[in-house]
Structure 1
Amino acid sequence: MTVVRFDLGNTPGNDDVPRAAAPDALQTLTAAAADAGAAWTQLGDTLLVTGVPAQLERTGAGRPPMDRVEVPAARLHLVIQNGRQFQQEHTEVPVLVDKGRYLVVDLDPAEAGRLIEPSERHLPCFGVRPLPADTVVFEQRPPVPVPTLAVAGPRVAAVSRDAFAADLRTLAGFRTRHSTSTEFRTALDWADGVLSALGFGTRVQTVALPGGSTQNLIAERPGRGGDGRAVLVTAHLDSINVRDGAEAPAPGADDNGSGAAGVLAIARALQDHPGARDLRLILFGGEEQGLYGSRHYVADLPQEARDRIHSVLNMDMIASRNSPSPTVLLEGAAVSQLVLEELAAAAQAHTGLTVQTSLLPFNSDHVPFIDSGMPAVLTIEGADGANDRIHTAGDTLEHLDLDLALEIQRMNVAYLVQALGQA
């Protein structure tokens, strides 16, 4: 089987920041591939087409590919999330396409099967699955300047860099926030105090873990009318050091001090916003052990409460700039397509972010909501898979880009103002 790679970019860029695909070129090539019986997979500005030579000749229609390689189709796999860790652990595996969070690799199916199964000791920091055919892994949307939406503008401007930086320093100042540690509970109690002081009602939910327990912190401000639905903003509070174990230092500045501090920043920006819908903020424990906190929270919701959830906005790593242009990935599923589109529109209206979108949800706290049919979207720094400091003692403050984190928070606040509605 032959794999050819086409460059669809229509603006300058590089592989670290995939460019927007030219729509005409993409439509022409994917339609030609379908007509020829070949399979295609889009990753930003790159289109992979797999087939026999005759099929590929019909697909190309005179457009020269960037390169071609002979690989049996069964060996083509997609690595999702921490691509750098995969490369460090499997240096012998050829990488055919490197897009930061996503890698396309040449991997023996038997070995892939072993990697696909979750580890008993810890869910892997990356996922491996057969390369999906006729699928968009992610799209790229360049920043488009449009007038700021007047209704959201003041709330967007209320996102405080100083307060966010102070909260982030506090969270990263703990030696670890491992889910079962006393430091985690101290961090959770501190966050509880911050949210209570802002006027949110709070409660703590106990979550069972193998060999122990952890906690979720849930804070809520009721809406002032409307349809009785709730908008959720979530992040995991825990950190981990995968290489050195539960007792080792794990400051978790980016993963996920940035997301947890982002929840507090949103609470401050919206504390007196007269939203019609309920605003519910959740800091989960046990994410690093396998999404235990969010899975427990969702499983504990009766169906009536699930039906009341309007949308879920999850933040997991929002402060490391892994590419030349500030980029955010919005990851959801078909059930969350509308939320994803509204977040992308908010980014274009209020920020200079390049937006990537994906409907292949993986391994963060938005997934349990999606699995239960609720619209949830992960907002995460672009090319997060290129960040090889996470889950180590090296995930510290000096590596963070607060400007990127603020842009992502501004996008999220702009979306939330719309989602909460006016009382």
Structure 2
Amino acid sequence: MPNRPMLATAAALAAAAALVLPTAAVAENSARAGAVAVQDHLQELQNIAGANGGNRAAGTPGYQASLDYIKGKLDEAGFTTAVQEFDSLGGPTYNLIAETPGGDANKVVMFGAHLDSVGEGPGINDNGTGSAAILQAALDYAAGGETPTNKLRFAFWGAEEEGLVGSTHYVETLPEAERGKIAAYLNFDMVGSPNAGYFTYDGDDSDGVGAGPGPEGSAQIEKLLNDSLGAAGAPAEGTDFDGRSDYGPFIEVGIPAGGTFTGAEETKSPEQAEKWGGQAGEAFDACYHQACDTVENVDAQALERNFAAIANAVKTYAAQFPQP
């Protein structure tokens, strides 16, 4: 594994935040503090897995405890939460949906991540990182005390690892009129890979990587995320809407989508290693779907950069829809 930067302590971050800093430095400091909080959530998810047979797979006590932990945080912050039951693997499991009390209910922007792990391990990068990052972005937004112009909805999907079961159930059972109110869906699945790449879903097909562009509006999502990652020193590459994560059911019904991804079992090229650092010829995440996908399998810098992009997207879409 490549060397990974050490996380700053919460005390040091709090002291730094007390200084009067230029706007860019304040934003950077805020992102770092948020990433530390994300790491705390990841440790809690690992503890949950450790207490429940080593995993947080759909339909297991570890999954239920993970959902209860996140729901408790969102309830405390004032979100309206709902648990949606569906069947998977012959038994019940659940999605968790949380939304801001305020905001235009006819203009909904969704942020989603799957909460379940595979049965082989605790699933901290896949996908504790995405779940913890959107959780903390939601908590930080709520702490700011603003009422959004557009309603924000955060989804924590169950049974993604069984074939996108939770997100598919949500989209297919949502009345057509309610689907029409979802203006955008942003998906975050693995945002802290230890040999990280920096990928955004190719909404405008400018990278020509496969399936073509996403529904109209996807290009704006891609640009917003690209700009955030570029500003953090991580120029992004486009990746295909290949149907491997929970954006799939949304683009199938014409909802604009996007998101970030730091790579799974695929191999990092020499060109990518030159651009992003890390080890060429090795997987982005050598612990993908294995027992070693623990908190030690998360790159702090990749997590911080992606969290900053997620938090910026939450704030941006709360206020307005980005222009082409």
TM-score bin (small chain): 0.7 to 0.9
Contact 2:110 2:186 in 1 (8 A): yes
Aligned to 1:81: none
Q: Where in structure 2 are the equivalents of 1:1-400 lying within 5 Å?
A: 153=27, 157=31, 160-173=34-47, 174=49, 175-224=54-103, 228-241=106-119, 249-271=120-142, 272-322=145-195, 327-332=198-203, 333-335=213-215, 336-349=218-231, 351-382=232-263, 385=266, 386=283, 387-400=285-298
Q: Secondary structure at the match of 1:270?
A: helix
Q: Are residues 289 and 383 of structure 1, via their aligned partners in 2, closer, same or farther at CA, if it must alter by over 3 Å? A: closer
Distance 1:176 1:207 in 2: 20
Change (3 A) 1:420 1:149: farther
Q: Give the alignment's TM-score, normalised by structure 2.
A: 0.75
CA distance in 1, matches of 2:317, 2:176: 21
CA deviation map 1:326-384 (0-9, x unaligned): 623335443122211222123234x2222011343321001110111101113111465
Alignment deviations for residues 292-316 of structure 1 (CA, whole Å, 9 cap, x no partner) = 0000010111111111112111110
| Between structures 1 and 2, the one with greater helix share | 2
Amino acid at match of 2:309: M
Q: Does 1:414 align with 2:285?
A: no
Distance (whole Å) between structure 1 residues aligned to residue 175 and residue 28 of structure 2 = 36
Cα pair distance change 1:353/1:149, threshold 3 Å: farther
The 1:309–1:158 alpha-carbon spacing in structure 2 relative to 1, beyond 3 Å, is farther
Task: Describe the shift of the 1:149–1:313 C-alpha distance in structure 2 as closer, same or farther (beyond 3 A).
Answer: farther
AA aligned to 1:308 is K
- Per-residue displacement from partner, 1:97-121 (whole Å, max 9, x unpaired)? xxxxxxxxxxxxxxxxxxxxxxxxx
* Higher strand content, 1 or 2: 1
Q: Work out the CA distance in 1 between the residues paired with 2:31 and 2:290.
A: 34
The answer on whether the counterparts of 2:45 and 2:128 sit within 8 Å (CA) in structure 1 is: yes
Q: Root-mean-square deviation (CA), in Å?
A: 2.4
Q: Share of identical aligned residues, percent?
A: 33
Question: Which one-letter code corresponds to 1:409 in the other structure?
Answer: F
Unaligned runs of at least 5 residues, structure 1: 1-147, 242-248
Please state how far the C-alpha of 1:388 moved relative to its aligned partner. Answer: 3.0
Evaluate the alpha carbon distance shift between residue 202 and residue 296 of structure 1 in structure 2; reply closer, same or farther with a 3 A threshold. Answer: same
- 1:203 Cα deviation from its structure 2 partner: 0.8
Provide structure 2 residue ranges, at least 5 long, that are not aligned to the other structure: 1-21, 204-212, 267-282
Task: Pick closer, same or farther for the CA change 1:224–1:215 going to 2, 3 Å.
Answer: closer
* C-alpha contact (below 8 Å) 1:311/1:375 kept by paired residues: yes
* CA distance 1:149–1:375, change in 2 (3 Å): farther
Q: Distance in 2 between matches of 1:311 and 1:413?
A: 15
Q: Which amino acid aligns with 2:63?
A: F
Q: Structure 2: how far apart are the matches of 1:183 and 1:370?
A: 30
Q: CA separation in 1, counterparts of 2:23 and 2:260?
A: 21
Opposite residue 44 of structure 2, the aligned amino acid is T
Contact 2:186 2:259 in 1 (8 A): yes
- Measure how far apart 1:210 and its partner are: 3.3
Cα 1:261–1:331 change in 2 (3 A) is farther
